[in-house]
Amino acid sequence: MTPMTTGPSPVGGKVKLTPAALTLDDGTSFTGLAVGECLEASGEAIFITAMSGYQEVLTDPSYHGQIVVFTTAHVGNYGTNPGVDQASSPQVAGVVFHELWLPEALHWLSEADLPEWLRAGKVGALTGVDTRSLTLHLRDKGARNGVIAPASAGLEVALARARAVPSMNGLDLAVRVFCKTPFKRPCAWEREEGSPPVYRVAVLDFGVKRSILDQLNLQGFDLTVWPGDTPPETIGGERPQGIFLANGPGDPAACSYAIRAARHFLGRVPLFGICLGHQIMGLAAGGRTYKLPFGHHGLNHPVLDRDTGRVFITSQNHGFCVDPESLPPGVRANMWNLNDGTVEGLTWDDAPAFCVQFHPEASPGPHDSRGLFARFRQMIKEHDAQA
């Protein structure tokens, strides 16, 4: 067993703090203090390098089933605001901080302090942890399943619980987070004579972020958001002019319903995919995906577009990747991660389709690649003119 690791003392305050620990399935345990009532949390522990946007991260459905470790040392001083939520409730299984801000939030728009928000969302939270040591461990050993539990549970009990957490490989988590019934989200463009056309786009929801829907609406798309397992024949019956495949959590290879839908629409209707949607499109083309050691989670990943020579600084959140060697002729890996050389974007030479592994909508993150939404509009426009 690896010795228990003691982290720094958190900022003082009136929040109840209870001795607890994050125990990983390899026997390593990192001690800290649970925030409020000690809510146990289990899932895959990953680290994120974001320096801001913690509320957007914690409400991103792509983090469903994960324990998120923030590498930035100090989190929570500007509180929370429901206007930036990416889903209707927190999505993470748990969260680990070096130092969680416990006094009253310092931002005038804040409606709740972060500790209060975490308690209301029933998120197991741990502060006072040596997150530098924890991050180095996850970087060197890879993302690992773990459990946040009170110190009174004991190491052996916590370790057994951590080892009982299902592997992310083969796990369909999208089915837990996509909408259960379809809904409309019309754009706000004025429908006046001579104004640009408004296009009908079907969104296949695997855990779509609200900011993605916002960016699609801004491009002049009337959206119908469909549950991710909706039969493609049902969606096609609505005659969409474009198909968008959303982000989401879990192993893309487990989402057979999504792969079937993407394969059905490829070559028939313009397609654009982000994150899990990118992986689904790669699988639909006949490619393979594989799990990264610790994934890409942060707002600072450089991506090269070989078609233009441009480098984007991107926001990312994914644990799986498309294998470029598995792609058939006609599907090009045209975008590449400059940190580790993994695939970040695909384009089809013989079909109106492209996809990216990163998040061009950001929220949080840089806006370098938001032009990809305009590219999707142009693709629909050209395809519609030829129809």
Active site positions, annotated = 275, 359, 361
* 3-class DSSP state of 83: helix
Instruction: Check if the beta carbon of residue 348 is closer than 8 Å to that of residue 280.
Output: no
Distance CA 275, CA 255 (A): 14
- H or E segment at 271? strand 271-274
Place of tokens 């990163």: 358
Of 50, 115, 116, 57, nearest to 90 by C-alpha is 57
Q: In this structure, which amino acid lies at residue 224? A: T
Alpha carbon of 223 to those of 65, 105, 248, 363: distances in Å?
28, 36, 18, 20
Q: Tell me if the bond preceding 364 is cis, omega within 30° of 0.
A: yes
Distance CA 99, CA 127 (A): 6
Instruction: Check if the beta carbon of residue 356 is closer than 8 Å to that of residue 334.
Output: no
Place of tokens 């030479």: 349
Distance CA 106, CA 279 (A): 40
CB atoms within 10 A of CB 12: 9
Instruction: Check if the beta carbon of residue 59 is closer than 8 Å to that of residue 86.
Output: yes
Q: Which residues pair with 43 in a beta bridge?
A: 146
- Tokens (6 digits) for 234: 């049902």
CA angle 221, 225, 226 (to 5 degrees): 140
Max CA separation in the chain (angstroms): 71
